[in-house]
Amino acid sequence: MKKVVSFMLVAFLSLAALLILDSCSTSKKTTTLKGEASITANAPDYKRIKKEINTKESEFYYPELLRRFQAADTTLSLEQIRHFYYGTATRSDYNPYKRAKIDALREALSKEDWKKAAKEIDKELETDPTNIRFHWYKQIIYSNLYGPDSEKTADAYNQVVMLLSAVTSTGDGSSKELAFHVINVSDEYGIMEIFGFSPKMQSLVEDKGQSYDVMELEENEYGLESMYFNITTSIEATNKIFGF
């Protein structure tokens, strides 16, 4: 499997989510998103997304997007992927800070028990289908269990790439204005892991009605000092849950 960071960094610096999909798929060639670069650096319109994912006649109907994503359908367009990822945050069961029960997963990973790890990660993704960090772990587990060139590994890898394409279409993470829009904290850490960065310090910043996690990064070969994540949606959902 090709090293991820080299490809992901291209998307990180240039906002070219298209390049991720063209460059990072493994044995299954991705064929979508061409001609859709105009969608990049575009904050999600949650009101519109919510309406469209709940319309059965729409191409963005959530149950169908979920089915296609779980099947690693690489013909999904970038806009459909955005509706799937950000639409998850408009659903009644959305909880950005729900705690995953991953002790069994951690134990399996520490023992390199790939069969057990695959079972545990699949279980987590049944209830948290857009979790970028878990999908990233899944493709690592599948690569060890089935081989890096297997169809299962290719599917898992392409699912990571599809979710990243949604997030990188909202910005490049370099500032508040171009922050990555994410729907839970786990995705922040998953994205940093994929890019090969380690957080040094986390700061919550409020500005003009928006909430941001600013992650100061450990020294890295690219000289990047910080990464910005727009977490307004998860903050608002949490406040609603606790009645604030």
The pLDDT value recorded for residue 99 is 66
The pLDDT value recorded for residue 29 is 37
The pLDDT value recorded for residue 168 is 93
**In degrees, to the nearest 5, what angle opens at C-alpha 188 toward C-alphas 183 and 194?**
125
SS3 48: helix
Residue 164 contacts residue 17 (beta carbons within 8 Å): yes
**Could you read off the pLDDT of 138-174 as tens digits, one per residue?**
999 999 999 999 999 999 999 999 999 999 999 999 9
**Cβ atoms within 10 Å of 13's Cβ, excluding its own:** 13
Q: What is the mean pLDDT of residues 203-225?
A: 94
Q: What is the mean pLDDT of residues 166-193?
A: 94
Name the more confident of 15 and 121. Answer: 121
pLDDT score of 55 more than 90:
yes
The pLDDT value recorded for residue 25 is 39
Q: What is the mean pLDDT of residues 73-83?
A: 96
> Any idea where the domains of the chain sit in the sequence?
4-171
The pLDDT value recorded for residue 222 is 84
Rounded Cα gap, residues 236 and 70, in angstroms: 28
The pLDDT value recorded for residue 45 is 96
Rounded Cα gap, residues 67 and 61, in angstroms: 10
pLDDT score of 228 more than 70:
yes
The two beta strands, 199-207 and 180-181, are unpaired
Of 20-24, 80-84, 192-196, which range is least confident?
Answer: 20-24
The pLDDT value recorded for residue 200 is 95
Rounded Cα gap, residues 96 and 236, in angstroms: 10
The pLDDT value recorded for residue 119 is 95
Residue that is written with structure tokens 């394409």 in the block: 165
pLDDT score of 8 more than 60:
no
Name the more confident of 101 and 131. Answer: 131
Mean of all residue pLDDT scores within the chain? 84
Query: Whole-model pTM?
Result: 0.84
pLDDT band at 1 (very low <50, low <70, confident <90, very high): very low
Lateral strand order in the sheet of 226-230: 180-181, 226-230, 210-217, 199-207
pLDDT score of 6 more than 70:
no
Burial 111-145 (b: 16+ CB within 10 A, else e): eebbebbbebbeebbeebbbbbbbbbbbbbbbbee
Q: What is the mean pLDDT of residues 64-82?
A: 97
Q: What is the mean pLDDT of residues 104-116?
A: 94
In whole angstroms, how large is the CA radius of gyration of the chain? 17
